Each structure stands twice: as structure tokens, then as C-alpha cells.
Structure 1
Amino acid sequence: MTIDLRSDTVTQPNPTMLDTMLHAKLGDDVFGEDPTVNELEAMAASMFGMEAGLFCPSGTMTNQIAIKVHTQPGDEVICDKLSHIYQYEGGGIAFNSGCSVHLIDGDRGRISAEQVKAAINDDADYKASSKLVSVENTTNRGGGSCYDFKELIAIKEVCLANNLSFHLDGARLFNAIVANNESPKQYGEVFDSISICLSKGLGTPVGSVLLGTSSFIKKARRVRKVFGGGMRQAGILAAAGVYALENNISRLAIDHENAKKISAALAGKDFAGNILSVDTNIIIAEIKERHMPATFVAAMKELGIFLMAISPTQIRMVLHLGITREMVDEVVQAINNL
């Protein structure tokens, strides 16, 4: 039996989701005629109290489209130095939008309103124009850490006072919502645009949805086409998203519990150094002394347990719907035996 903890992107659709996909009503989405895509976009927008949505193949595309719509070449994007849009989207901010980046050294990937305020450039000809603030919730490289919602409101106030747009990379947003007993509509009231990923903890094979005003999404749809993201009978994929939004959100709490159980096992080992607080479904731990990340990963792989070394000193494990409680017990036993 393989236990894959490398990422929550490795999830597989269950038989019911597959059956939903098989029987989806289809049309041509580039013509706006796929009823299932339209249903997913409307459902996601309604959940967050926003006007419209746009179904895209990936979260990278939804983020990059949002940046493109919010900015002009020569503008600057303010974000944390660990942000996915900066670290893992292929330099897309520069390549796609011609923008520079002002990086903030936040707390586990989370930035504060005061840091945003300090990062805004003066209105001078020789400086890039600060135009967009982007935050990630939960933060991947921050070990699944969540924002205090009050801080998001404070950042929004800074954005409003300085004519900045506010974007949320919500790749794992539903993990934060479940962990903190929040509601999607809270986020819709604060952000100008939101990207939600369906293919991580929610378990679909493909897809993310970008949310915003109707005018924003109209522009985003054009950018999606330019980026090569126009899909035809995409309802077969969107159907999985509809199923996920209806069935796979509340169960995220199980992943959070499982992550804490594995983290507790690691904390009892002499080769485990600093372990980031487990707020949701991600474990990031320092491995040292008689085990180093590479040897730890190799030892676990021999037992059929897959995880990642994300730096010379750290490993990452991510819990998801493909990991059962029995698998968690096996991982704990394996750690205890090392």
C-alpha cells in the first residue's frame, strides 16, 4: 500500500465524483454554452457573495489572470516572500504582466497591514506604481498557516486608502475556513478577486475558479483566452467541482486532525527539530542529526510512505482525502520505529 503525503494535489476522484463527471451536461464553454461550467461558476460566486466566476485549468492560471487584470506593465505587486505567486508560478508576474514585486518578510507567509503600508511606493516617476496586494491563505510554505481575519480587514483598509487592489490566492482557502469556523462570504466582502483551487483538498482532478465583479471577470475571460485557457466541453471537469463544493468541504477537518497526529509523533523523535505549528493539513518539520531530510525521505519511501524534502533542512507532509485513519496510524508507527 502506498501512502502519498507529497501533496494534496495527488487526490483521486471517488466513484461518485466520477459518475457525476460521466453524466455531466456539456456544451462549448468558449461560447459560454457549457451548462455545467456555468453552474460551477455561479455556485462558487454565490458561495462567496461575489458577482461572477471563471473556471480555469489551474490555480496558477487564475492567479496570473488576476494579476494581469489588476495591473499594467511597470506596476508593482506587494506580497510575502514565500507567496506561491512569486515562488512557484514560473516568474509569471514578470513574464505575463510585466510587473515588479515588492517582497515582504512576513510571519510564516502572512503579511500585516503595517508591512503593506510601508511597502507602498511613493508616487514618483522613477518608481514602480504599487497597484496590487496579494495574500495566500492558507500559506503553503508557512506550513498551512491561516490569517487572522481581522488582519485581512486591516490590509483591506490600507488598500482602500491607497487605491490598491486586493487579491487572495485561496489555493487552500477552504482549509482556513473550516479550521477557523469562517464563512466564504466574509472573504467575498474583503477581496477584489479570489482564486479557489478545486484539485487540492477538495479532490477534483483539474481546475480552479477565479471570482470577482462581473466587469472584472469579463476582462479575465479575455485574458484566459490569450493565455490559452479556453476550454470547450469543460463541463466534464466542472462537474467534479460542483460535486466537491457540495460534498468535500466539511471533511477537511479530518485532514487537520490527521496532520496533528503525525506532527505529534514527529515531535517525540530526537531527529526532529523545529516543527511549524500545524494549523490545517500541512506539516513542515526540521530534520537533523542522525537523519537528514534526504535520508528521512528515503527511509520512509522504503516503507511505501512518500513525502518531500523542501529544503536542505526541512520535510513536508500534506494530508488529504486519500489518506485514511489507518494510513495515518501506519505513518505514526513508521516514525516511531525510526
Structure 2
Amino acid sequence: MHPASSRRAGLVIDLSSDTSTRPTPAMRAAIAAAEVGDEQRGEDPTVNALQERVADLLGQEAALFAVTGTMCNRLAVAAQTTPGDVVVIERDAHLMRYETGGPALMSGVLLEQLPGHRGSFTPEQLDEVLTAGSVHVPPTTLVALEQTHNLAGGAVWPLDRYRAVAECAHGRGVAVHVDGARLLNAVVASGVPADVWGGLVDTVWIDFTKGLGAPIGAVLAGPADVLDRARRFKHLFGGAMRQAGIAAAGCLHALDHHVERLAEDHANAAALADGLRDAGIDVEAPETNMVYFPPPDGWTLPGFLAAIEADGVRMGPVGRRVRAVTHLDVGAADVRAAVEVVASRVAG
């Protein structure tokens, strides 16, 4: 019998994603007590407070609450491009790989994909593909970055490169958007304040349903005129809400209580990587809260994931790799138990 199987009738350690977090009792209380109004009319006081808070946090003029981060990406692209424009992205960006063709379907844009190193590309690479547009060539109007970068193992864009890419784009009259689903992980890992990351670009959003532990919500920030256009597209795309303060209250609670603790997730990811390495697994060194590794020798990816889940540990498949993500609901003891399960399976 594997070490944990006798005490795990059901799943207890879910490392498949930081989206598996659940609201804490304190967050649930904040949600229950939320003051609400009509969000679509701009009359929900809790939503308005959240938008003001995030705009200030990210060094931007205005902000807009949305149900998901994918919606934020849709709004940012729609508000800063016209059909037929080119958007430059890193080839493994979420915008390219995991949004079901949304930029093409909903905004009619072309995606110019650049190969990156750990999710980032250079200003020289960018400069080579930027186009002003002509009778034959569509114009580049937006560059989209991802911070941190999921498929690069939660890697943080280096600040100097991030700044140089933004300056390159702006020098050619091109706007810069940041998919900041895990931007606050980058803030905690790098020590660079959120308003520095946000202030260097045109639009940026943060997600509250990952490491911050809220059940619903993301907020897009940027210039007021861009956000006015984004609000129109939000209604067009079916994203307007009513008493959304119930969701926004959870996000405000997360900003007050769950940001600094992201460092615990990063420490747990490092401990998980060390433990897996000690078990003989080739692990990519994590920068934040994600650990990627290939299936252990002798295992298929589905077989390995099914085996450890039978012992109460869930990890996820990403391409041909295993992904384990630490978060609010996973503590140091859980990490040690997960390592024990994996090591036992690897040892046979």
C-alpha cells in the first residue's frame, strides 16, 4: 500500500492549478456583508472601490471589473485594435494557446508569434516584426506580454527586458498590454512594485481567482479613454453584471490579506521541486509557484497522473509535462506528503 492511500478516501492535495483555491471563512464573511448596487450602471459601491484600488495599485488612471481574466484580455484587445490589425505575442502565451481563438473570433486580429526564452522576448525581436501598415501589410497596434508566464513555468519577465520591450513598442506608436493573471506573484518574487510593472504599459490586469483565492473576478486597468471603450465591449460581450459587489468584496479581501502570503506559495514550490529532485525527477527550477517536470522514467503522463491521484495528490498535464502549482490551500505539510506519494510511486 502506498503511504497515503490508507488515509485518502478522497482528494486532499490539489496541485493541479492555483484556480482550485476556495474562499477562506474570512473572505466568505466579507462577501456576505458586501454593499451592492447595479454594476452595469456604475452604481455598485464595492465594485467601484475595487476598481479604484486596482487602478492605484497598478499605476493606472482607471480600471474595470470583469468576471474572468480571459474577458480582460478580450476587452484589452478589442479596445486597442481594429479588425485586421496585428497583435504581437510570445508564441506560448495564454492569449495564443488557451483562449479558443478569441482574438481572431471577437476582434478580427492577427497574432504575430515570437519565440521566447522562458516566456519573454527581446526588443530586437520585437522591432523586427513591428509594421506601420501599408496597402499590402496590416499595422501592428498592440504587443501583449504575460507576467508571470504560465507555460514557461511561472517565469518572471526581467524588469530591464520588460521595460525595453515597452519602450520599443511605444517608440513605434504601438500599445502594450499585459496579461497579469499572476502579476502579483511577479511582484512578490521580484520585489518590483505593482505600479512599476503596470506603469510601464498601457493596459494590464490582475486575476483574483488564482493565488489570491477569490471565487470570481479580474480587473483590467489602463487609461480612462481605453477603459471607456473596454466598458462598451464588456457589455457587447455579455459581461455586464448587476449586484457584483458580492464578488468584488472577495477581491478586496484578497488584496488586504492574501498578497504578501504569495511568498509562502513560492517557498512551497521550491520545496516541492527539491523533494521531487531528491526522488530522481528532472525538475525545472521554479521562479514562483509553478513546478514543471516530465513524467518519471517508465511512466506515461496519463498513467503517472492517475497513479498519484489514486493516492490523493492531483497534478495536471500541460503538453507532455506535469504541472504542480502551489497555492493558498496547500501548506508545507501538504507538499511533504505530495513528495512522499510521488517518491513512492517512482520507487515502485
TM-score by length of 2: 0.94
Match of 1:245 in 2: 255
Post-superposition shift, 1:108?
2.1
- RMSD over aligned CA atoms reads 1.1
Q: Which of 123, 132, 141 is residue 133 of structure 2 equivalent to?
A: 123
Shift of 1:120: 1.3
Alignment length, in residue pairs? 335
- Structure 1: distance between partners of 2:226 and 2:243: 24
CA distance in 2, matches of 1:212, 1:26: 24
Of 266, 288, 294, the residue aligned with 2:302 is 294
Q: Partners of 1:315 and 1:59 in 2: how far apart?
A: 23
Taking the aligned partners of 2:207 and 2:273, their CA distance within structure 1 comes to 25
Structure 2 match to 1:223: 233
Deviation, 1:122, is 5.5
> What is the CA-CA distance between 1:8 and the residue it aligns to?
0.5
* Post-superposition offset of 1:242: 0.5
Displacement, 1:161?
1.4
AA paired with 1:136? E
Report the residue type matching 2:333 in the other structure. E
Ranges in structure 1 where 5+ consecutive residues have no aligned partner: none
The whole-number CA distance in structure 2 between the counterparts of 1:24 and 1:298 is 41
Measure the CA separation in 1 of the matches of 2:229 and 2:67: 17
Does 2:121 match 1:111?
A: yes
- d(CA) in 2 for partners of 1:298, 1:256: 26
SS in 2 for 1:29: coil
Alpha-carbon distance, 1:173 to partner: 0.4
What is the match of residue 40 of structure 2? 30
| Alignment equivalent of 1:134, drawn from 137, 144, 147 | 144
Structure 2: runs of 5+ lacking an equivalent = 1-7
Matches within 5 A, 1:240-279: 240-270=250-280, 272-273=281-282, 275-279=283-287
Matched, 1:49 2:55: no
Determine the C-alpha separation between the residues in 2 that align with 1:324 and 1:187.
29
Is 1:281 paired with 2:289? yes
Which residue, 58, 61, 65 being the options, matches 2:75?
65
Deviation at 1:219, TM superposition (A): 1.0
Please name the residue that 2:3 is paired with. none
Deviations 1:180-203 (A, max 9, x none): 111011023201000110100000
Give yes or no for the alignment of 1:97 onto 2:104.
no
Rounded Cα–Cα distance in structure 2 between residues aligned with 1:326 and 1:277: 20
- 1:288, CA displacement in angstroms? 4.2
| Corresponding residue for residue 342 of structure 2 | 335
Q: Give the alignment partner of residue 330 of structure 2, picking from 323, 326, 332.
A: 323
Does residue 148 (structure 1) correspond to residue 158 (structure 2)? The answer is yes
CA distances 1:269-317 after superposition (whole Å, capped 9, x unpaired): 34x33x3220000011112421232221111101110111212x31001
Distance 1:188 1:302 in 2: 42
Contact conserved, 1:111 with 1:135, CA < 8 A, in 2?
no
Work out whether 1:212 is the aligned partner of 2:222. Answer: yes
Q: CA deviation at 1:126?
A: 1.5
The CA distance in 2 between the partners of 1:115 and 1:283, in whole Å, is 28
Matching residue's letter, 1:155 = V
Q: Which whole-Å deviations, capped at 9, do the CAs of 1:98-118 have from their partners, x for residues lacking one? A: 000100110122122111111
Match of 1:177 in 2: 187
8 A Cα contact 2:273 2:284, kept in partner: no
Pairwise CA distance, 1:72: 0.4
**8 Å contact from structure 2 (residues 84, 138) kept in 1:** yes
The SS at the match of 1:31 is: coil
Q: Does the 8 A contact of 1:195 with 1:210 survive in 2? A: yes
8 Å Cα contact 2:265/2:289 also seen in 1:
yes
Counterpart of 1:13 in 2: which secondary structure?
A: coil
**Does the C-alpha gap of structure 1 residues 122 and 23 become closer, same or farther in structure 2, counting only changes over 3 Å?**
closer
CA distance in 2 between partners of 1:26 and 1:107 (Å): 45
Paired residue secondary structure (1:166): strand
Contact 2:203 2:222 in 1 (8 A): yes
Q: Percent identity?
A: 35
